[in-house]
Amino acid sequence: MYQQYQKGWIEIIVGCMFAGKTEELIRRIKVLQYAKQNILVIKAAIDNRYSNDEIASHSGYRVKSINASCARDILKYVKKDTDVVAVDEAQFFDKDLILVCESLADNGIRVILAGLDRDFRGEPFGVIPELLTRAEFVTKLSAVCVKCGAPATRTQRIINGEPADYNDPIILVGAADHYEPRCRHCHQVKNKPEIKLGE
């Protein structure tokens, strides 16, 4: 006899740009749709690169979604029969996303998030670090470094053909026009504070 388990948890898919985070999120959504789950798909309103009303992967996979400007907006769309809340570009949401996700999971809803774990500087991005510690399940994806072919875990921002400056704004929505995947050793940021060995 199967034991009934409690529903409601947080899972998060992270990595650099072009690692396939949105594609993995869409894959999970499709599996859950096949299982007749009621799924609320949300994306950060700031992300309008490929569509205004869909989450879309760089490779062209798409799923209808609702835009949310702030984390608490998500709650407006949750219904009594919602089984799953899937959120793309989670790094763009405010700190309330933590409370929203905890509340949803505590109330029996499966929460699936996808987002960048590091900004262009290579530093932790927004609310993602805390969500990583609160999630029951974490999937970290990597891409392929365009310079050397090693596993890429960082997002290289390029402005006018040059690496971005450390003091540039953290958020600049873009795709291959401004970003590429890089490994630790090929990732570059102008004027990044560093400590040299032996100093």
Q: What per-residue confidence (pLDDT) applies to 162?
A: 95
180 catalytic residue (yes or no) = no
194 pLDDT band, cuts 50/70/90, is confident
Q: Are 11 and 137 in contact (CB under 8 A)?
A: yes
Task: Please state the rounded mean pLDDT for residues 171-177.
Answer: 79
Let me know: does 119 contact 62? Beta carbons within 8 Å: no
pLDDT of residue 158: 95
What average pLDDT score do residues 46-54 get? 75
Instruction: Tell me the pLDDT band of 176, cut-offs 50, 70 and 90.
Output: confident
What is the residue-averaged pLDDT of the chain? 93
What letter does residue 7 receive in the DSSP assignment? Answer: P
Residue 158 CB coordination number (10 Å)? 16
106-151 per-position pLDDT tens digit: 999 999 999 999 999 999 999 999 999 999 999 999 999 999 999 9
Neighbours of 5 (CB within 10 A): 7
pLDDT at residue 81, rounded to an integer: 97
Position 2 scores a pLDDT of: 61
Instruction: Report residue 173's pLDDT band, with 50, 70 and 90 as the boundaries.
Output: confident
Give the tens place of pLDDT for each residue, 74-93. 999 999 999 999 999 999 99
CA distance 41 to 47: 14
Going by pLDDT thresholds of 50, 70 and 90, the confidence category of residue 50 is: low
Q: Is residue 95 a contact partner of residue 62, using CB atoms and an 8 Å limit? A: no
pTM: 0.92
Report residue 46's pLDDT band, with 50, 70 and 90 as the boundaries. confident
pLDDT band at 7 (very low <50, low <70, confident <90, very high): very high
Domains (ranges, CATH) in the chain? Answer: 9-142 (3.40.50.300)
Among 23, 24, 54, 89, the active-site one is: 89
The Cα–Cα gap between 8 and 110 comes to 5
Report residue 18 as tokens.
């072009």
Q: What is the pLDDT of residue 120?
A: 97
For range 7-32, the mean pLDDT? 96
Partnered with residue 185 across adjacent β-strands are none
